[in-house]
């Protein structure tokens, strides 16, 4: 029997590709394609592929037409799916699946990392030492805070949000949440979290952490009205998608002091630089380069989940973690 062809997209570091080939089950062959680097080669592989795996975000109509004859599943290794045209995929009869929460540990840890760094002003204090200054701690203490005893507001209670809730509670925070689609009350009881409408959460929370996917429902859902509703001196953490926030309104809230700090792993336009975004380099903003989910540990989990879902399709089962158009 001929091996099933799994086309990994796009080109990633050699160690990631080597791991993908190592973890591929027997009977599956992994080849790498990159539409940006060699379009014709990529289209040729897509036409022969049984599955697409990775981050195939640049699939256009021609690529979907190439895939339509043979590809049975587009298996993403990300939790987000806003960069792939799920409507075009559905039009060509190809299901799309996310990573099954494989990076939820990495992202939830990063959310807490950003929270603590913002509350304790880690970048500013570290930079002071690098600048040959050793600030007297008491001169900074009125602007340094603990997570313990604070109200931690989750906007989104999916797999990542739930893990963040546990971590925040371990630090002694009280957790409240809002979600576009409220889960069963039993979930709230099990997690020991309280549901609030969004503006009520914003008024109460010392830290607001975003964990919703980008969609028409969540596009710039945190705007001027929401910043005005926030508890003065709150911290905003975003490890979800930059498009959830009106960045102009966030900048105004930071400059006015309404927002104490913003700790962001994602911006509306990436990559961002000091020249392209006023948030990069702002004294009250921490920015990491959309790296929350990118731990070495998470790669194994992502790939195991991905190949498991591919095997489910091969066995005639429905895909797990399927994205609806």
Portion of the chain with pLDDT greater than 70, in percent: 99
pLDDT for residue 317 is more than 60: yes
The dihedral over CA atoms of 218, 211, 34, 36, expressed in degrees to the nearest 10, equals 50
Mean pLDDT of 42-61: 96
299 pLDDT tier (thresholds 50, 70, 90):
very high
Which H or E element spans position 139?
A: helix 137-140
The overall average pLDDT reported for the chain is 95
Q: Which two tokens stand for residue 299?
A: 């790669």
Q: Is 47:66 a contact under the CB 8 Å cutoff?
A: yes
* Beta bridge mates, 236: 208, 262
What region, left, alpha or beta, does residue 228 occupy, with left being phi > 0 and alpha being psi -120 to 50 degrees? alpha
Q: Which residues are catalytic?
A: 241, 270, 290
Class of domain 4-102+295-314: alpha beta
Q: How far apart are CA 299 and CA 305, in angstroms?
A: 10
- Taking only the tens place, the pLDDT of each residue in 60-83 is 999 999 999 899 999 999 988 888
- Taking only the tens place, the pLDDT of each residue in 150-194 is 999 999 999 999 999 999 999 999 999 999 999 999 999 999 999
Q: How far apart are CA 190 and CA 312, in angstroms?
A: 31
pLDDT for residue 210 is more than 60: yes
- DSSP state letters, 159-207: HHHHHHHHHHHHTT-EEEEE-SS---HHHHHHHT-EE--HHHHHHH-SE
- DSSP state letters, 279-302: TTT-TTEEE--S-TT--HHHHHHH
- Secondary structure of 60-121 in HEC code, one letter for each residue: CHHHHHHHCCCCCEEEECCCCCCCCCHHHHHHCCCCEECCCCCCHHHHHHHHHHHHHHHHCC
Q: What pLDDT score was predicted for residue 142?
A: 85
Q: Which two tokens stand for residue 267?
A: 């911006």
- Taking only the tens place, the pLDDT of each residue in 132-155 is 998 877 777 788 999 999 999 999
**DSSP letter assigned to residue 52:** E
- Taking only the tens place, the pLDDT of each residue in 212-233 is 999 999 999 999 999 999 999 9
pLDDT for residue 11 is more than 70: yes
Give domain 104-287's CATH superfamily.
Answer: NAD(P)-binding Rossmann-like Domain (3.40.50.720)
Q: Where in the chain is the domain with CATH 3.40.50.720?
A: 4-102+295-314, 104-287
Q: Which two tokens stand for residue 65?
A: 């037409």
Q: What pLDDT score was predicted for residue 1?
A: 55
Q: How far apart are CA 180 and CA 221, in angstroms?
A: 11
């Amino acid at each position: 029997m001929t091996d099933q062809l799994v086309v990994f997209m796009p080109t990633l570091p050699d160690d990631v590709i080597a791991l993908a080939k190592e973890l591929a089950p027997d009977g599956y062959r992994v080849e790498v394609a990159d539409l940006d680097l060699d379009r014709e080669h990529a289209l040729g592989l897509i036409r022969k592929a049984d599955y697409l795996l990775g981050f195939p975000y640049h699939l256009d109509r021609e690529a979907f037409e190439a895939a339509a004859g043979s590809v049975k599943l587009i298996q993403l290794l990300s939790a987000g799916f806003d960069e792939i045209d799920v409507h075009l995929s559905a039009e060509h009869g190809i299901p799309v699946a996310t990573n099954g929460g494989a990076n939820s540990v990495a992202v939830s840890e990063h959310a807490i990392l950003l929270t603590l760094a913002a509350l304790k002003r880690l970048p500013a204090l570290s930079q002071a030492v690098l600048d040959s200054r050793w600030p007297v701690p008491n001169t900074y203490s009125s602007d340094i805070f603990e997570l313990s005893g604070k109200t931690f507001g989750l906007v989104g209670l999916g797999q990542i949000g739930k893990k963040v809730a546990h971590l925040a509670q371990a630090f002694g925070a009280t957790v409240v949440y809002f979600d576009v689609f409220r889960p069963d009350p039993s979930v709230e009881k099990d997690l020991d979290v309280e549901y609030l409408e969004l503006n009520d959460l914003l008024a109460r929370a010392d830290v607001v952490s975003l964990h919703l996917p980008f969609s028409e429902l969540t596009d710039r859902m945190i705007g001027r009205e929401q910043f005005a509703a926030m508890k003065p001196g709150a911290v905003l953490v975003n490890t979800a998608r930059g498009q959830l926030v009106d960045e102009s309104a966030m900048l105004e809230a930071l400059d006015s002091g309404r927002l104490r700090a913003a700790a962001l792993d994602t911006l509306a336009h990436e990559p961002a630089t000091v020249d392209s975004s006023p948030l990069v380099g702002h004294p009250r903003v921490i920015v990491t380069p959309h790296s929350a989910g990118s731990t070495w540990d998470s790669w194994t989990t992502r790939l195991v989940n991905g190949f498991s879902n591919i095997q489910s399709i091969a066995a005639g089962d429905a895909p797990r973690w399927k994205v609806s158009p």
